[in-house]
A and B are shown apart, each in its own frame.
Chain A
Amino acid sequence: MTSLLTAVALFLCAFAAHAAIWRIRVPRRQTRALVLVFAGVPPLAWAAARALGAAAAPVSPPPADFPAIGLFYAGAACCYLITYAGVEEASPSLLIIRALEAAADRGCERAELAAIVTEERFVEPRIRALTEQHITTLTPEGSRLTPRGLWIARLAGLLSRCFRIHEGG
């Protein structure tokens, strides 16, 4: 049970650090900052346990459990990173649902929903984000993939072929 509690505590420490930083000031490059916070907490916790020495021993998991704890933590951190994308950028589906919830029994016509799902809200920020994340470069002629973008596109293409994925809205 110590190993499970250690893994959960590590994740909660990282989440608390992230929330505290975000409350003070939201970093400009949020995903990179999140990765740094989640990668930084385990070495800090390990250093703290070493500094405490014998005092930390009763609550320390056996070293043989470190791979299992590490995998749990890495998996949870990746899940949170994926989830956080939904905080950073609203999805059209979620906005539609919120609009219908606000309308309650009145419901919404398609035109009302079209006023919410706009190009300014969804297309422009994504084109900007691709450039900010160095996936594309903007030239006067248009948008072009960087080597990183090309690598992502190849990976996405490979996944689409392997799993026969078809795009859709």
Chain B
Amino acid sequence: MRGVEELLSWQAALALIPLLGLAIDVLSQLVLSRITRPAGHVRKQFLSFGVGLAVAAGSLLAALPGRRLGPADLAGYLLLGILTYAFLGFCFFNVINLNVSSMRIRMVMEIRRQHPHPVPVAALRARYGMAEVLDARLRRLESGRQITRRGDRYYLRGGAVLRIAHFFSGLRSFLLGDAA
């Protein structure tokens, strides 16, 4: 009976480690956003994700070896914990990122500013002029070294955004078939 209780307790604690990592990630992000300049949010997010990952991986490495597990189970629990933390961290990254670049969130915020008065659709269209969106995206892609500008022309440099674009095209074709 005592063995069962012990088993339950350490395995339940194991499920909490990715949540601990996420809490550290959120906390680090909070601290970094307070002590650094508002710009460069992606770098701050990677940094805080790394801090959370270090805590989660360190906790797993400290907790697991004492459990007399075989190498396969040890690797399995370690991967389960680290991947779970990575998934939670990815969700947090996107929650922050949505607030930075999502057009829909910006529209919602704009409508809220006028609440309870309605915002004419024409005003929304004017507010999100595509020239402004295009310039902001080009600036961001250029500063992220995904594209380069020579004279009045833009060129692709490759990098992560291109791989993401390929991934989405592939997933779209796989899911929608000919309809893609």
Q: Are B29 and A122 in contact (CB under 8 A)?
A: no
The stretch among A36-44, A46-54, A100-108 that forms the contact with chain B is A100-108
Interface range for B: 35 or more
Q: Are B12 and A143 in contact (CB under 8 A)?
A: no
Q: Are B109 and A157 in contact (CB under 8 A)?
A: yes
With A and B bound together, what is the CA distance between A19 and B117 in angstroms? Answer: 42
With A and B bound together, what is the CA distance between A157 and B100 in angstroms? Answer: 11
With A and B bound together, what is the CA distance between A108 and B149 in angstroms? Answer: 9
Q: Are B175 and A23 in contact (CB under 8 A)?
A: yes
Q: Are B29 and A144 in contact (CB under 8 A)?
A: no
Q: Are B121 and A143 in contact (CB under 8 A)?
A: yes
* Least distance between A166 CB and chain B CB atoms (Å): 5
The A interface is mostly helix, strand or loop, or mixed, namely helix
**B-facing residues in A137-162 (Cβ within 8 Å):** 138-139, 141-145, 149-150, 152-154, 156-157, 159-160, 162
Q: Are A76 and B87 in contact (CB under 8 A)?
A: yes
Q: 22 A-B contacts, Cβ less than 8 Å apart?
A: A62-B7, A67-B15, A71-B19, A72-B80, A75-B87, A87-B168, A87-B175, A97-B156, A100-B155, A119-B130, A123-B124, A123-B128, A126-B104, A129-B104, A130-B104, A143-B111, A144-B111, A145-B115, A150-B115, A163-B99, A166-B39, A169-B135
Closest 5 CB pairs of A and B: A169-B136, A75-B87, A1-B76, A142-B118, A107-B153
Further pairs besides A79-B91, A123-B128: 10, Cβ < 8 Å: A26-B176, A75-B88, A87-B168, A123-B125, A130-B107, A136-B108, A143-B107, A144-B116, A157-B112, A165-B33
